[in-house]
Amino acid sequence: MAVNLKKPGVIVLGGHVQGYGIVRIYGENNIPSVVIDTTKINIARHSKYCIDFYKCSYDDLLILLLDFQSRGIYRDWLLIPTDDYYVRILSKNKKELSKYFRVSVDDWEKIKLFFDKRNSYPLAHKAGVPIPITEYPKSLSEIREISKRVSYPCILKPAIMLDFYRTFKKKVFVCKNSMELEQNYLRALNILKPDELMVQEIIPGNNEHQYSVGIFFDRDKSYNYLVARRKRQHPIDFGNATTFAETVDIPLLVDYSHKILSEANFWGICEVEFKYDERDKKYKFLEVNPRTWKWHLISIGTGIPFHLSLYHFLYKEKPLIEKKYKECGWRDIITDIPTTIIIMLKRKIYIKSKTKNVVHAVINFRDLKPFLMQLLYLPYFIFKR
């Protein structure tokens, strides 16, 4: 299909699995894409729907975008981020960028409520949504006091994930006793301030208990949503990447998401994460990712037009409203096969999905090159992680 260069396209910031999903969705609807990434080793730039690619560091992104403006190219195109670094850059500079582009993220005053978990958990609690028991230490002495009353194992997690994950390659430190809690706290202080860390209870249960609500929200109402169980993830306990997700019907989680996002007066596409606690039979809020998420491509199998709704909202002021979704699964076969093997070996179980309709993260016979490049890049991805 030839893309239409007469209509505004999208500039996708980040070119891995999530970025390819965005390029594919818009491309299949005759809307062109340009990809920007910090590395040439990404799959989205190989899509037939990607008309150009730019390699650019996070620090130089604004310079590149302003260069587009000075050259008069990509005028009025839609900027879509795929990670939190890009979200922060766009959100903090939204006023300036909006003079030339359409920006798909909310203002920083709203975004920072979810960037900093010290804001997120009190906000969710105020909205009447259950949260895990969480402590907010501001010093080593407070950590020592907390260590006397917390239940072990617990987790030490950053209020802001960006630099923590980049440095330690994990989302949290699991602490089995007070000594580990103090040691991990001191370790984390190498890159974070004392008040940027939280101590939180571990909600028991594996990833079968983790759920997400993908939603396009507008201050006090939603246009599109779906609920999914993040059935498998990597790493398997505190994963940073879903490998298999499937839709479920849990209206309560939609209601909780509405309450949290309304409390924040949020606008945009986001993912709201929860975990089911078998101890008190409650779904507890984990976080909001104020952007698209890795498995958003499930939307093409469910019939929920997140991206086209966003496009119509910004360019035509008429979002495509659809809330009844079809049963569907999403699978990233490259990461799901090893994850499945690890689960089988570690837990001696394999829970087969009943979902027959499965959308693959990258495999697309109408646009095969990205999958072939994913296979070629696989050794690099394994080494990097």
Is residue 237 located within the same domain as residue 301?
Answer: yes
CA distances from 315 to 51, 266, 298 (A): 21, 19, 24
Closest by CA to 306, choosing from 330, 289, 322, 329, is 322
Which of 185, 201, 217 terminates a domain? The answer is 201
> Quick check: is 125 in a domain?
no
Q: What share of the chain is helix, strand, coil (3-state, %, to 5)?
A: 40, 25, 35
- Please name every residue paired with 288 in a beta bridge, in sequence order, or none if there are none: 272
79 phi and psi angles, rounded to 5 deg: -90, 125
pTM of the model: 0.93
CA 49 centroid distance within chain: 23
For residue 256, being part of any structural domain is answered with: yes
- Which domain CATH number covers 313? 3.30.470.20
Per-residue pLDDT of the chain (385 residues; tens, 9 = 90+): 444 567 899 999 999 999 999 999 999 999 999 999 999 999 999 999 999 999 999 999 999 999 999 999 999 999 999 999 999 999 999 999 999 999 999 999 999 999 999 999 999 999 999 999 999 999 999 999 999 999 999 999 999 888 898 899 888 999 999 999 999 999 999 999 998 999 999 999 877 899 999 999 999 999 999 999 998 887 766 656 899 999 999 999 999 999 999 999 999 999 999 999 999 999 999 999 999 999 999 999 999 999 999 999 999 999 999 999 999 999 999 998 888 888 777 765 555 666 779 999 999 999 999 999 999 998 887 777 6
Which helix (H) or strand (E) segment holds residue 317: the answer is: none
- What is the pairing mode between strands 358-360 and 134-135? unpaired
d(CA 148, CA 177): 10
Residue range(s) defining the domain that contains residue 187: 133-201
| Residue 185 DSSP SS3 | helix
CATH number at residue 170: 3.30.1490.20
CB 328 within 8 A of CB 302: yes
With respect to residue 113, please indicate whether it lies within any of the assigned structural domains. no
**What SS3 class is residue 289?**
strand
Contact 239, 294 (CB under 8 A): no
8 Å CB contact between 193 and 140: no
Whole-number pLDDT of residue 354:
66
Query: What is the strand order of the sheet 33-37 is part of?
Result: 50-55, 33-37, 10-13, 78-81, 102-103
How far, in Å, CA of 261 to CA of 272, rounded? 9
Is 36 inside a domain boundary?
A: yes
Q: What is the DSSP letter of 202?
A: P
> Is 145 in the same domain as 192?
yes
Residue 348 CB neighbours (<10 A): 7
